[in-house]
Amino acid sequence: MAFSTIRGASSGLLAVLKKRPRLRRRKSGSTPPVAQASPQVASLAPLTKIISQYLDTKDVERVKEAYRFSDQAHLGQFRASGEPYISHPIAVTEICAGWKLDAESLMAALLHDVMEDQDVPKLELAERFGADVAEIVDGLSKLDRLEFATKAEQQAESFRKMLLAMARDVRVILIKLADRLHNMRTLGAVSPEKRRRIARETLEIYSPIAHRLGLNALFRELQDLCFQAIYPNRYQVLQKALMAARGNRREVLSKITESVKAALPAAGIEAEVTGREKSLYSIYMKMVEQKKTFSDVLDIYGFRVIVHTLPECYLALGTVHQLYRPVPGKFKDYIAIPKLNGYQSLHTTVVGPYGTPVEFQFRTREMDHVAEEGVASHWLYKDDQTSLNALQKKTHQWLQSLLDIQSQTGDSGEFLEHVKVDLFPDAVYVFTPRGKIVSLPRGATPVDFAYSIHTDIGNHAIAAKINGEFSPLRTELRSGDAVEIVTSPASRPSAQWLNYVRTGKARSEIRHYLRTVRYEESVAFGQRLLNQAFDQLHLPYPADDDPEWDKLAKGSGASSRDEILADIGLGKRLAAVVARRFTPENPILATTAAAMDDITSVTNTPILIQGNEGQAVQLAPCCGPLPGDAIIGGIRLGHGLVVHMAECAVAQRQRAREPERWIPVAWDANTARHLSTRLDVTVINERGVLGRLAAEISDADSNIMHLTMHDEASSTAVLHITVQVDSRKHLAQVIRAIRHVPQVQKIVRVKG
């Protein structure tokens, strides 16, 4: 009996299947068995031929056993095309075999749908095929049986499960990519709406993952298949235009090929020269991004020169540059500085015959192997980092970063958002002060750079030096920049950083810090406010295990005492209302905002402000109060205590609307240093005045944080300066120092 047509020949397997009822759930869009007049029989012969070339006989038999199990499990199940469902796992396994994956990977590929579709327990797979196979299959199975509020939430959680499984074993994603590739190749049998949905998901998630892992051949095919599914008419029009252009330019390409093939041996270089076309999707995106027509996109053809050794790459490059004039700015050395996915090659664009721009790529055969198959070209699954090559180390670091992001993120949608950011394909390459190269996504800032070095450096960053000059933290980095981060123990992440960071690691670390530290600071500040309220009511502070805390939490939707204190610190509850819950005469006083009007007691003891309390206490940016100024504090819902100058017009308006939210505050004896305030300085617009001002401010032990200006008249200008000072007294010293500059006409402190 030919093995390729065996259908459930294992009596042991049949016995197992008979014991357990099976849920014959079909894939969406599949055709019921009754509709199949003459079902085709899937053949395993091509797969057996491939794997027999690199697996031993024992492993081949293990793969066949997995086939028998999968075939029996999917018996009676059909794809939307009418083929037996087993044809899909076989096709996926053939793709994996093309990457020469190991026996466990091939077994998992054959079994990848049996848990999800046929309710085969993970334990049964582990007993029959080993724990590794069971873990891989489990990582590939979606979360269909859990309850989710929305389809998007279910999908995001399934992605998170798969990506975390990938972080533990990269074989999970290799099999998933092979699965997605075969699904994309056979999309024609499903509805147009589902086709577009699957294609967009592939373009957004799986195609970038393939690129990140260096699977460039797979990456390009997925992009073209997605393009065809989403925009079928555009795909056909562009394909016809490319076929016509191919005929028109055949003479040019033949001439270039002959010239290069003659020049390289003459220079003593043995090389393989092949012509290639850019993918339809890449041509389409170039037309969209550069707003060009097809006829304007000239460099749709390129040549690949494959040599034996690395030095020959540069020799071949020089030889081609002698033949054809290179286009300035179009040379890229990815050998010296490989891409994030391990890609290495020399790229150059030259002006060919008749003025046609043509791209050349130069690489060794090993580089070409890695460029097409990426991490699958050297797949290793070892814990010993010393045994990994450069590509595997980069992949391992990226996979570990997924675990780091997961540890900082609770929400699956947020986790997926961070991963999408990290899959951004373009990159810039910058240098640390010690000359180490750091790869970052295009558009990354010094904040991204800081977090890529170490979390603590990111959390305490206050400034950046780019190429030796101070630059704002929001500056976009460019390839070749030398970046140095200036840190301070007093500095903390700002929510504004989220507006311009690009890496998933930076985004997740900032959000984690803001969530946890803000919560801790809010709890501590809420404790201070509640202590003050109890003092005002002449009551002792209740013990942490007082049962009234549990009653208060249950009655108001809080989960713990700390959450109540955090709500007080963030202004979501009033301390006086919570304190009254512990008075004998008012045991059930409401704790909501509606009860605020019932508060009759006014707290007279001021809260002491240091200025560095963190997220729970903020100095109002509208007036910039300093130690020594008369101040008042307002409890702002969700923001905690906001401290204003007493004369601030904004504070006075808000206090008139909600007087119950305002409490007395005063400066502590030990206040924070380096508080910001703003000055408007009117000067005679002469050469060198700005330098003299900066020198005087520095001599007064202050620092300029921000500076803008506008011309008042032809001879004067107003400088808007934000400076760091320690107190109102220190500010007075800075103002006196500024007055030493003869060109200064007027100085005004901005208070609103």
CATH number at residue 741: 3.30.70.260
pLDDT at 107 over 80: yes
pLDDT at 747 over 50: yes
Based on the fold, state whether residues 318 and 368 are members of the same structural domain. Answer: yes
Report d(CA 238, CA 126) in Å as an integer: 49
Structure tokens given for 7: 């259908």
- What band does 294 get if pLDDT is binned at 50, 70 and 90? confident
Instruction: Please give the residue range of the domain that contains residue 476.
Output: 426-502
> Which residue, 313, 345, 374, sits at the end of a domain?
374
Any residues with CB less than 8 A from the CB of 487 and at least 6 apart, and which?
457, 460, 461, 462
Number of domains in the chain: 5
pLDDT digits over 208-220, tens only?
Answer: 888 777 788 888 8
Report d(CA 153, CA 483) in Å as an integer: 39
Catalytic residue, from 117, 422, 563, 613: name it: 117
Based on the fold, state whether residues 270 and 162 are members of the same structural domain. Answer: no
With respect to residue 507, please indicate whether it lies within any of the assigned structural domains. Answer: no
pLDDT digits over 620-669, tens only?
Answer: 878 888 888 888 888 776 566 788 888 888 888 888 888 877 878 888 77
Report d(CA 692, CA 738) in Å as an integer: 9
Instruction: Tell me the three-class secondary structure of 269-325, residue by residue.
Output: CCCEEEEEECCHHHHHHHHHHCCCCHHHCCCCEEEEEEECCHHHHHHHHHHHHHHCE
Based on the fold, state whether residues 266 and 351 are members of the same structural domain. Answer: yes
Q: What is the pLDDT of residue 160?
A: 67
Based on the fold, state whether residues 179 and 143 are members of the same structural domain. Answer: yes
712 is catalytic: no
| Strand, coil or helix: 346 | strand
pLDDT at 315 over 90: yes
User: What DSSP designation does 337 have?
Assistant: S
Least confident of 196-200, 210-214, 481-485: 210-214
> Which residue, 216, 234, 252, sits at the end of a domain?
234
> Which residue, 667, 689, 718, sits at the end of a domain?
667
| 590-609: average pLDDT | 48
Contact 216, 343 (CB under 8 A): yes
* Strand-pair partners of 619: 643
3-state helix, strand, coil split of the chain in percent (to 5) is: 50, 15, 35
Report in angstroms the alpha-carbon separations of 354 from 5, 298, 324, 350: 58, 12, 11, 12
Report d(CA 703, CA 275) in Å as an integer: 59
With respect to residue 405, please indicate whether it lies within any of the assigned structural domains. Answer: no
Based on the fold, state whether residues 208 and 281 are members of the same structural domain. Answer: no
Contact 339, 429 (CB under 8 A): no
Q: What is the pLDDT of residue 713?
A: 64
Contact 534, 581 (CB under 8 A): no
Catalytic residue, from 104, 116, 521, 629: name it: 116
613 is catalytic: no
Least confident of 22-26, 256-260, 452-456, 518-522: 22-26
Q: What is the pLDDT of residue 16?
A: 33
Handedness of CA 143, 144, 145, 148 (dihedral sign): positive
Report d(CA 286, CA 281) in Å as an integer: 9
Based on the fold, state whether residues 578 and 696 are members of the same structural domain. Answer: no
pLDDT at 362 over 90: yes
**Buried b / exposed e along 170-209 (16+ C-beta atoms within 10 A):** bbbbbbbbbbbbbbbebbeebeeeebbebbeebbebbbbb
Q: What is the pLDDT of residue 553?
A: 74
Q: What is the pLDDT of residue 392?
A: 58
In this prediction the pTM is 0.55
Report d(CA 578, CA 591) in Å as an integer: 6
| 381-392: average pLDDT | 47
pLDDT digits over 2-57, tens only?
Answer: 333 333 333 333 333 333 334 344 443 343 333 333 344 467 888 888 888 888 89
Based on the fold, state whether residues 74 and 191 are members of the same structural domain. Answer: yes
Relative orientation angle of helices 232-248 and 250-266, to the nearest 10 degrees? 60
User: What DSSP designation does 606 have?
Assistant: P
Contact 601, 579 (CB under 8 A): no
The mean pLDDT value of the chain amounts to 77
Instruction: Tell me the three-class secondary structure of 673-736, residue by residue.
Output: CCEEEEEEEEEECCCCHHHHHHHHHHHCCCEEEEEEEEECCCCEEEEEEEEEECCHHHHHHHHH
Half-sphere exposure of 381 (CA within 13 A, CB side): 14
Handedness of CA 316, 321, 322, 324 (dihedral sign): positive
Report d(CA 117, CA 24) in Å as an integer: 7
